[in-house]
Amino acid sequence: MRAIPLGKPSAIAIAAISLIGIFSFLWPFVAPADSFLVVNSTETPLLFALIIPLLLVTVISQISDGGLDAKAIALLGALAAVIAVLRPLGAGLGGIEPIWVILILAGRALGPGFGFLLGSISLLASAMFTGGVGPWLPFQMLAAAWVGLGAGLLPKASGKRELMVLSTYAAIACIAFGFIMNLWFWPFSTNLPEQIAFSPGANAGENLLAWIRFSLTTSLGFDLPRAALTVILIALIGSPVLQLLRRASRKAAFDAPTEFIEVH
Amino acid sequence: MTPRWLHPGAWWLWSLCLAAAASQTTNPLLLSLLICAAVIVVAARKPDAPWGKSFEFFLFLGAMIITIRVLFQIVFGASLGTTVLFELPGLSFPEWMSGLQLGGSVTLEALLGAFYDGLRLATIAIVIGAANSLASPTRLLKAVPTALYELGVSIVVALTFVPQLTTDAGRIREMRRLRGRSSQGIKGFASLGLPVLAGALDRSIILAESMDSRGYGRHQKETTWGRRLSISLVLASLSLALIGVYSLLTAGTSAVVALLIVFAGLLLGGVTMWRAGRTRVRTVYRPDIWTLPEWLVSIAGVAVLGIFLTARISSDQALILRPELSAWPSLPLWGLLAFGIACTPAISAPHPPAFDIDTNEPFSSEAFR
Amino acid sequence: MICFEQVTFRYSEDGPTVLRDLNLEIPAGELVLLLGATGSGKTTFLRAINGLVPHFTGGHLTGNISVNGRSTRVNHPRELADLVGFVPQDPVSGFVTDLVEDELAYSMECLGIDPPVMRRRVEEILDLLGLTELRNRPLHTLSGGQQQRVAIGSVLTAQPEVLVLDEPTSALDPGAAEEVLAALHRLVHDLGVTVVLAEHRLERVMQYCDSILLLENGSVQSGSPSELMQTSSIAPPVIHLGRLAGWDPLPISIRDARRVAPPLRALLANHSPRIQAVPTHSPRIAEIRKVQCAFGKKIVLRGVDLDLDAGEITALMGRNGAGKSTLLRTLVGLKDQTKGTIHINGVDPHTLSAKDLLRHVGFVPQEPHDLFESLSVAAECKSSDTDAGCPPGTTRALLALMAPDVQDGTHPRDLSEGQQMLLALCLIVAAKPPLLLLDEPTRGLDYPTKKKLGEVLRGLATSGHSILLATHDVELVAELATRVVIMGDGEIVANGPTQSVVTGSPMFAPQVSKVLAPDHWITVEQIAQALNRELA
């Protein structure tokens, strides 16, 4: 079931913003030492924090132009609210939030387009609700959108196999999210100890190693529990939540045929 | 001045300018002044609304950032200065992590450096927190461009659903007790979540029906060519931005051309949004106005940023404080001036209107009938 | 104004026909009442008027429906928004924003109306519906009646010529229902709006309507109330009384009925109403002594004394905020009393663990689906057996007895409201709690379902349960309750046999009692028994 149809233009737009997003995360490894981005490495994250949201809204407006009916909007809003309510629950635990299970299952049940929008909109909505708008938000929105999109693109499976596929994906996605989110501010933090610091001008391999060390020593402590929690929740309630979501999408009748018959 | 909401855009512009100014310096005195300005303005103009409370969280977040940053420095050992404070037992990681070293001697210089760095991040978080608590999120959504109407509506819907979900959860928790069940632990939490989710999904369908019958999504039909033009514009804008970002990656120190390409892409994106906005039929009820107070607040922000940028361009030494014992932070006159200007919204902005807090009554099922 | 031409509708190609060859026309400026049992196609009919059926729901529609000449065939619901206003059954779920003023303006924002015009219309609607005081209030802090009026106002700002309402008063208490109906009456008379409404609580709306549409199995009959009510199986007590007495033309309102009632009263003068047997010497189930309860500084219960015996059905009445819900919540231990004692079978419910509580006192909430957690009826019953600690299959067997037509695989939330209520009742009754509490059990139920629920409750009382129900439904109380307790401002102001309490009160008297006052008749059944005649 696909609640939000993605036409070719929308798919291309998502691919393009994703590429730009990848650059915005990975520039510390690819940009040469004397490039503009590296020389001004403390401003670069802010530059991307400006570019990404502007492009992201262009993409969203393109997707919504293609077909965001009231049902899709209401479902998006409802699930974004669920995520916004769940997020503060994890705030005291350093981001070990039970939100990923909803995002991943919704992406799975309602399709990649819905997953992409839910990822970005839910983080925006929860940031507005709890007052958490900051330069980190565009990166979070994009990364969460990828998580939702990916869940929608997983291969067909059902029953236990489906839950296995989803758990595996969830584990990978949760850890990857943490690692990727380290990247946007990593070059921004000057004065870090040498082994885990971004060194402008070092080659990609050295920086990559430094980043992995940084992630392993800093965020892994949060990423692993987050992944574990998500996997446990999928095992526990994955199947009923999927059934609820599919029931909702059936009730919303996204693709029920409408026919007018002439009277003879 | 009669109490009214200041245009949220003005608050955000002021706060983002302060954040950008903070990112220009590591001087703890200048950073502390920026934090003070944010605290003063929030204290003077914070609304009595749910989002108004978020500032305290940001102050806490700032403190956390500094603490974590300093702890890192201690754990990872020092590579700076000579004033050893104390020694930690050293620990070497295996070969595959290329001999990462933990612990060792902790120097005062290294801690100072970590503190300055943490303080800068904390300042950015706190001044942005000021906008979070000063500007009403729902009023910000009213100012959303027409092309993003759908996005705006879905967020409005989400913000409306949130309080309903919390009351639902409270009620269903009680009902679980009546059936002899507990809502503790992961399992209890999960099974409490299911009926709440089921309720939210059911409600969203009714909401969609109501939105549909109230005219949501009315728009003028676009011609095939107009539609094709829109799509090409979106794709062109994204391609330009992509090319621009890519050339930023490879460009030399001067990246004027690459930056220009990126901004051309953004501009084109703006054009597509404007075009998309034209086809949507939609007006705003009681839109926020932009008058003198809005100008004063945003000019204050821009002026502060201007002062910091001027100092940066003229390589003013006061901006950068080296983490050395001999180095004392200096407080230049322009810093005080910037502080004064940053504080002006505490006077120039109008008071927010009194927020109706009838909502804070204790939960009673009678009230929700 | 509204025109159905040879309309037939099915949700799916091979599904049942929901509407069958409808031909009708509703003239402008009428208030039309749509009647029909659950499952008769009422919901579909209402939604077909503005094109939600089939544009929103999907389905196959034959024939043509047009409003003011605009056909739903080519117009989506959103394009008819300035012509047809649709108010869903649960107003809260239909709210898009969270403030009264924003909600009123929402439709106009969608229609792209100029800001100055919007501003003026919002002020007009605030005045028209008496919402001025509430303009800045968050929607979820309003009472049910206020929310319903905001919902009506929010579609009226688009200035539609037709207003379609799905059960606007069935969830409201009598006072709030009056407010809403008075507002609708004003719209029809002052603004000439055409109103189509579906409603179960006929006793409330019958007197306001100009004509009736009666849906049965997808076919429709239309006519004036007194015409159609001669034969309709769905009718308020005053109609049943009129038919029994053979009054012609059939009086629709209490006032008309009183005028023709003297001969009947003379006939009944020698009889006295048979009163429901009140059990004597039955064991005491609950003792409530001097219970006081407060929310912060606000005292909600002030020294309540109440005894409940086995076999009794006690009705708890009173306006909203009088303390009914708080008393029920205190009895199940959800709210602590600040003073006083509660003993249920000798135990204070607050000291009981969740598991033991269910064996002493059961509570059926006004939204029965709050109790549901499983994905199917069968699973729900199974988990209830575990909760109650009774042999597997007990709950399912109970449900089969009460509601034989419920399917095992259905999602509990997809059941009809009556079925949901019966399922919730089964889940609670399975543990055999001696005291059974029900909060507004007849909200949104039609007459047959209400009757069914009444039988079930009476059976439970006979088998030794003591039942306490908080309700606004005076007709239900007249037929079912052995005793009535009326609360006001946190105190019990009346407590006695149904007959004597309700006939003495202008607010809680059933229709029959209003027609035959000051005689003490309260149900049509009593009169039929007295006259030895069969109910028509």
Give me the pLDDT at residue A67, please: 65
Of C57, C60, C375, the CB nearest to A259: C60
Give me the pLDDT at residue A68, please: 79
In-domain check, residue A259: no
Q: Which residues pair with C35 in a beta bridge?
A: C214
In-domain check, residue B256: yes
In-domain check, residue C69: yes
Residues of chain A contacting residue C63, judged by C-beta atoms under 8 Å apart:
261, 263
C104 and C200 share one domain: yes
Probe site for chain A from C56, C75, C76 (most A CB atoms < 10 A): C56
Do the beta carbons of residue A254 and residue A4 sit within 8 Å? no
C309 and C191 share one domain: no
The CA distances from residue C472 to B187, B364, C135, C454, C484, in Å, are 38, 18, 28, 15, 12
Within 177-206 of A, beta carbons closer than 8 Å to B belong to 185, 188-196
The rounded percent of chain B whose pLDDT value lies above 90 is: 22
Across the interface, whether the CB atoms of C61 and A240 are under 8 A apart is answered no
Locate the chain A residue with the closest alpha carbon to C96.
Answer: A74
Query: Quick one: tokens of B149?
Result: 């109407």
B53 and B142 share one domain: yes
B272 and B303 share one domain: no
Domain that holds residue A78: 8-251
* Number of domains forming the structure of chain A: 1
B253 and B115 share one domain: no
Categorise residue A162: left if φ over 0, alpha if ψ from -120 to 50, beta otherwise.
alpha
Across the interface, whether the CB atoms of B218 and C107 are under 8 A apart is answered no
pLDDT tens, position by position, C31-82: 999 998 877 888 899 999 999 988 888 889 999 999 999 999 888 898 899 9
C328 and C462 share one domain: yes
* Number of domains forming the structure of chain C: 2
Of C5, C57, C61, the CB nearest to A260: C61
Provide the b/e sequence for A179-197 (b: ≥16 CB within 10 Å): bbbbbbebbbbebbbebbb
Do the beta carbons of residue B45 and residue B351 sit within 8 Å? yes
In-domain check, residue A48: yes
pLDDT tens, position by position, A109-159: 999 999 999 999 998 888 877 666 777 888 989 999 999 999 999 998 888
pLDDT tens, position by position, B258-301: 888 889 999 998 888 888 777 777 788 888 888 999 999 999 99
Sequence-separated (6 or more) residues with CB below 8 Å from residue C477: C315, C317, C471, C484, C498, C502, C508, C510
Do the beta carbons of residue C523 and residue C237 sit within 8 Å? yes
HEC readout, A34-100: CCHHHHCCCCHHHHHHHHHHHHHHHHHHHHHHHHCCHHHHHHHHHHHHHHHHHHHHHHCCCCCCCHH
Q: Count of B–C CB contacts within 8 Å?
A: 203
Q: How far is B218 from chain C (nearest CA, A)?
A: 6
> Residue B252: pLDDT band by 50, 70, 90 thresholds?
low
B21 and B147 share one domain: yes
* Amino acid at the residue C206: M
In-domain check, residue C50: yes
Domain that holds residue B70: 8-155+295-360
Q: C489, C506, C524 — which closes off a domain?
A: C489
| 3-class SS shares of chain A: helix, strand, coil, % to 5 | 75, 0, 25
Give me the pLDDT at residue C47, please: 92
In-domain check, residue B211: no
| 3-class SS shares of chain B: helix, strand, coil, % to 5 | 70, 5, 25
Q: How far apart, in whole angstroms, are the C-alpha atoms of residue A206 and residue B361?
A: 58
Do the beta carbons of residue B133 and residue B112 sit within 8 Å? no
C225 and C301 share one domain: no
Query: Tell me, what CATH number does C76's domain have?
Result: 3.40.50.300
Q: How far apart, in whole angstroms, are the C-alpha atoms of residue C212 and residue C197?
A: 10
Residues of chain B contacting residue C329, judged by C-beta atoms under 8 Å apart:
365
Identify the CA nearest to C316 among candidates C188, C483, C455: C483
B272 and B347 share one domain: no
The CA distances from residue C484 to A159, B131, C74, C502, in Å, are 54, 57, 55, 8
Q: How far is A56 from chain B (nearest CA, A)?
A: 10
A94 in reach of chain B (CB within 8 A): no
Do the beta carbons of residue B196 and residue B169 sit within 8 Å? yes
B111 and B28 share one domain: yes
Locate the chain B residue with the closest alpha carbon to C163.
Answer: B213
Residues of chain A contacting residue C412, judged by C-beta atoms under 8 Å apart:
none
Identify the CA nearest to C99 among candidates C62, C138, C132, C145: C138
Q: How far is C238 from chain B (nearest CA, A)?
A: 28
Locate the chain A residue with the closest alpha carbon to C57.
Answer: A253
Longest C-alpha distance within chain B, in Å? Answer: 74
In-domain check, residue C138: yes
C6 and C83 share one domain: yes
Of B129, B251, B259, the CB nearest to A35: B251
What is the rounded radius of gyration, in angstroms, for the C-alpha atoms of chain C?
24
What's the rounded mean pLDDT across residues B153-165?
85
B146 and B50 share one domain: yes
The CA distances from residue B310 to B263, B304, C393, in Å, are 23, 10, 80
* Number of domains forming the structure of chain B: 2
In-domain check, residue B342: yes
C110 in reach of chain A (CB within 8 A): no
| DSSP output for C378-394 | HHHHHHHHHHHT--TTH
In-domain check, residue C511: no
The CA distances from residue C232 to A32, A86, C223, C227, in Å, are 85, 51, 11, 9
pLDDT tens, position by position, A70-112: 889 999 999 999 988 887 765 545 556 788 999 999 999 999 9
In-domain check, residue C97: yes
Query: Tell me, what CATH number does A194's domain have?
Result: 1.10.1760.20
Across the interface, whether the CB atoms of B365 and C329 are under 8 A apart is answered yes
Give me the pLDDT at residue B368, please: 30
pLDDT tens, position by position, B106-135: 788 888 888 888 898 899 889 988 988 888
Across the interface, whether the CB atoms of A36 and B258 are under 8 A apart is answered yes
C341 and C408 share one domain: yes
C314 and C169 share one domain: no
C219 and C332 share one domain: no
C228 and C314 share one domain: no
Q: How far is A154 from chain B (nearest CA, A)?
A: 23
Of A71, A247, A262, the CB nearest to C411: A247
Phi, psi for residue C144 in degrees, rounded to 5: -55, -45
> Residue B367: pLDDT band by 50, 70, 90 thresholds?
very low
Write the DSSP symbol of residue C329.
Answer: H
Residues of chain A contacting residue B62, judged by C-beta atoms under 8 Å apart:
none
B37 and B138 share one domain: yes
Q: How far is A256 from chain C (nearest CA, A)?
A: 5
In-domain check, residue C245: no
In-domain check, residue A260: no
Give me the pLDDT at residue B41, please: 95
Q: Which residues of chain C have pLDDT under 50?
A: 536
Q: How far apart, in whole angstroms, are the C-alpha atoms of residue C241 and residue C264?
A: 10
In-domain check, residue B72: yes
Across the interface, whether the CB atoms of C55 and A258 are under 8 A apart is answered yes
Residues of chain C contacting residue B277, judged by C-beta atoms under 8 Å apart:
none
Q: Count of A–C CB contacts within 8 Å?
A: 38
A256 in reach of chain B (CB within 8 A): no
HSE-up of residue A154 (Cα within 13 Å, Cβ side)? 28
Q: How far apart, in whole angstroms, are the C-alpha atoms of residue C348 and residue C360?
A: 10
Domain that holds residue C371: 284-489
B240 and B301 share one domain: no
Do the beta carbons of residue C461 and residue C313 sit within 8 Å? yes
C225 and C307 share one domain: no
Provide the b/e sequence for C200-227 (b: ≥16 CB within 10 Å): bbbbbbbbbbebbbbbbebebebeebbe
pLDDT tens, position by position, B302-343: 999 999 989 888 877 777 777 676 777 788 899 999 999 999
In-domain check, residue B210: no
A116 in reach of chain B (CB within 8 A): no
Q: How far is C48 from chain A (nearest CA, A)?
A: 12
Sign of CA dihedral C148, C151, C156, C162: negative
B137 and B263 share one domain: no
In-domain check, residue B313: yes
**Is residue B4 pLDDT above 70, yes or no?**
yes
C288 and C229 share one domain: no
